[in-house]
Amino acid sequence: KQEVTQIPAALSVPEGENLVLNCSFTDSAIYNLQWFRQDPGKGLTSLLLIQSSQREQTSGRLNASLDKSSGRSTLYIAASQPGDSATYLCAVQGGSEKLVFGKGTKLTVNP
């Protein structure tokens, strides 16, 4: 059974800092991995999708890497801003259509 773990559970940083969020998964036989952002009481916004054959994806100040063999992904946020404050969720898609999510990392960026 696939399990996804995100560390840390919560993170508080000053504005402008670069930061890394971690995601690990137990079964390396994945089809893709997706990072989402969730604001309080809202739905999920897709940030980056990495196919299993890819090593990384970039969008603006965000960079996500994937090491399938070790079961790890990282989300790097450069020059953090207060507007980046949210919960970040990692999800993997294996042989079936469903996504398996971690519990998320709650990020607070202080002005």
Partner 1 sequence: DTGVSQDPRHKITKRGQNVTFRCDPISEHNRLYWYRQTLGQGPEFLTYFQNEAQLEKSRLLSDRFSAERPKGSFSTLEIQRTEQGDSAMYLCASSRDLNYGYTFGSGTRLTVV
Any contact of residue 61 with partner 1 (CB under 8 A)? no
> Rounded distance, CA 55 to CA 68, Å?
9
Any contact of residue 43 with partner 1 (CB under 8 A)? yes
Any contact of residue 55 with partner 1 (CB under 8 A)? no
> Rounded distance, CA 99 to CA 35, Å?
11
Q: Which stretch binds partner 1 (CB under 8 A): 11-19, 69-77, 78-86, 98-106?
A: 98-106
Within a 10 A sphere around the Cβ of 19, how many other Cβ atoms?
A: 16
> Rounded distance, CA 67 to CA 94, Å?
15
Which residues are at the interface with partner 1 (CB under 8 A)?
4, 31-32, 34, 36, 41-46, 49, 51, 89, 91, 93, 96-104
